[in-house]
Structure 1
Amino acid sequence: MDTRVTAAVPAFFSQPLEERDPEIFDAVRKELGRQRDEIELIASENIVSRAVLEAQGTVLTNKYAEGYPGKRYYGGCQFVDIVEELAIERARTLFGAAFANVQPNSGSQMNQAVFLALLQPGDTFMGLDLNSGGHLTHGSPVNMSGKWFNVVSYG
């Protein structure tokens, strides 16, 4: 094997971003400062704890795990299954529910789930205007949120 390749392998798994790519590291650092200093009103850009950031920055990010725990379409998911089963059990406990699904497919579907859980057709909600950075699910007339509910836009 090429000695350049074998010499690079340990660094691939252990070299921190700050050393590997200082420019990207600097941009990430500045974004952290922006998030600490500004209020973000977009739900999908909510601020998470350091523990969540650490969990999302683990090797689990490398794993594609389609399906449900114990019934995946690909092998090698046993540790992802442990994490998902913990999340399911914690959600069940938190909400006092018999069942929980912790696999949101998209922010749009999650917004729809919240609308359907909390509002009745004709109810009023406030959403960020599309031209101001909002999303179609914030009350656009082409989305169910704009068809079923009274929208007060801001922005």
Structure 2
Amino acid sequence: MKKKTEWNNLSTNKSAGRLYFIEDTYEAGLVLAGTEVKSIRRGGANLKDAYCEISSGEIFISNMHISPYEEGNIYNLDPKRKRKLLMHKSEIRRLEKVKTLQGYTIIPLRLYLVRGRVKAEIATARGKKLYDKREDMAKKDAERRMKRSLDY
């Protein structure tokens, strides 16, 4: 049997690249209920406003919305509850040090499957200022114009 080299993306945070400078990325497991996993596999996860916070040596993902599973009945949980991330202590300490720096935050970039387990790719990020966003838009616009001129 062939091993899959490509991960099965379930959800991505499309606004992360526009709003933040991405520094380092980490992989973390998620503690989820069964109905949440089923809902995520159907595409019911939204990472748009999600962020990570560290408290008492544990890391949690907050404000991530997972839609309730239709066939879940009484087993569905609160869609925006805090969910624990599974990481090594050394990684959590490293993230905690970075978070104390001015302007840094920890955000989730995407959710994906690895051997049937839902994993989250999280990153340390620094917020962009308005002039940084304008600069990025100008670069993209210039690249688009150059590409158009080469096509003709």
Same fold (TM over 0.5): no
TM-score computed with the length of structure 1 as normaliser: 0.24
Q: Determine which structure has more spread, i.e. the larger CA radius of gyration.
A: 1
Higher relative contact order at CA 8 Å, sep ≥6: structure 1 or structure 2? Answer: 2
TM-score computed with the length of structure 2 as normaliser: 0.24
Structure with the bigger percentage of strand:
2
